[in-house]
Chain A
Amino acid sequence: MSRTRIHQIAGIIISALLLLAPFYLPEIRVHLLIEILIFALFALSFNLLYGYAGLLCFGIGAFFGIGAYVYALLLTHLPQMPLLLGLLISAFGAWLAGIAIGFLSVRLRGAYFALITFAFQMFLYAVALKWRSVTNGDDGIGVTRPEFYLPLFGKISLMNIINLYYLILGVVALGVLLAYLFLKTPLGNSAVCMRENETRSSFLGYDSFLTKVTIFSLSGFLAGLAGSLFVLFNEFVATNCIDMNMSFAVVLMAIIGGTGQFFGPVIGAAFYTAFQNWLSSFTQHWWLFVGALYVATVLYLPGGLVSIANLFKRGD
Chain B
Amino acid sequence: MGCALKLENIHKDFSGLQVLKGIHLEIKEGERHAIIGPNGAGKSTLFNIITGLYKPSKGRLLFREKDITGWPIHKISRMKISRSFQITNLYPRMTVFENVRNAVISKLNRRFDWLHLLDNDQEINEETERILSLLSLEGVRNFLAAELSYGAQRELEIALTLARDPILIMLDEPTAGLNTEETRKVVEIIRRVTERKTLVIVEHDMEVVFSLASRITVLNYGRILATGAPDEVRENEEVKNAYLGKKQYVTRSQ
Q: Which residues of A are in contact with B by a Cβ distance under 8 Å?
A: 181-182, 184-190, 193, 196-197, 199-208, 210-211, 214
Contacts and interface: CB of A to CB of B under 8 A. Distances in A.
B142 interface: no
B91 A190 contact: no
A208 B102 CA distance: 14
Contacts of B1: none
A199 B89 CA distance: 8
B89 A187 contact: no
Given A184-B119, A201-B102, A205-B78, 10 more contacts: A186-B112, A186-B114, A186-B118, A196-B91, A202-B77, A203-B51, A203-B74, A203-B82, A204-B164, A214-B112
B169 to A, nearest CB: 12
Counting chain A CB atoms within 10 Å of each CB, the highest count among B82, B101, B105, B121 belongs to: B105
Interface of B: 51, 72-74, 77-78, 82-83, 85, 89-94, 101-103, 105-107, 110-119, 121, 124, 160, 164
Given A186-B110, A190-B112, A211-B111, A204 B117 contact: no
Contact of A196 (B93, B101, B107, B113): B93
Counting chain A CB atoms within 10 Å of each CB, the highest count among B101, B107, B112, B113 belongs to: B112
B105 A186 contact: yes
A199 B83 CA distance: 12
Contact of B111 (A190, A196, A200): A190
Interface of B, helix, strand, loop or mixed by DSSP: loop
Given A184-B117, A200-B160, A205 B89 contact: no
A203 B77 contact: yes
Contacts of B103: 204
B118 A185 contact: yes
Contacts of B94: 196
A193 B77 contact: no
B77 A186 contact: no
B86 to A, nearest CB: 13
13 contacts: A185-B116, A185-B117, A186-B112, A186-B124, A189-B102, A193-B102, A200-B90, A202-B74, A202-B77, A204-B106, A206-B106, A207-B74, A208-B74
Contact of A205 (B93, B106, B113, B117): B106
A211 B106 CA distance: 12
Contacts of B112: 186-187, 190, 210-211, 214
Given A193-B102, A200-B91, A205 B107 contact: yes
Contacts of B115: 185
Contacts of B110: 186
A197 B89 contact: yes
A201 B121 CA distance: 21
Contacts of A190: 105, 111-112
A186 B160 contact: no
Contacts of A210: 112
Given A203-B77, A214-B112, A184 B118 contact: yes
A207 B90 CA distance: 17
Contacts of B72: 202, 207
Given A190-B105, A196-B93, A203 B73 contact: yes
B88 to A, nearest CB: 10
A207 B107 CA distance: 13
A210 B119 CA distance: 24
A182 B114 contact: yes
Nearest to B83: A203
Contacts of A197: 89-92
Nearest to A218: B114
A200 B106 contact: no
Nearest to B79: A205
Contacts of A200: 85, 89-91, 160
A189 B74 contact: no
A237 B41 CA distance: 64
Given A193-B102, A201-B102, A205-B106, A185 B113 contact: yes
A187 B85 CA distance: 25
A214 B111 CA distance: 11
A201 to B, nearest CB: 7
A181 B117 contact: yes
A4 B218 CA distance: 57
Given A196-B93, A206-B74, A187 B164 contact: no
Contacts of B160: 200, 204
A60 B118 CA distance: 28
A182 to B, nearest CB: 6
Contacts of A196: 91-94
A37 B58 CA distance: 58
Nearest to A193: B102
A185 B110 CA distance: 10
Contacts of B106: 201, 204-206
Nearest to B91: A196
The 8 closest A-B pairs by CB, nearest first: A187-B114, A205-B106, A202-B73, A205-B77, A186-B113, A196-B91, A186-B110, A204-B106
Contact of B114 (A185, A193, A203, A204): A185
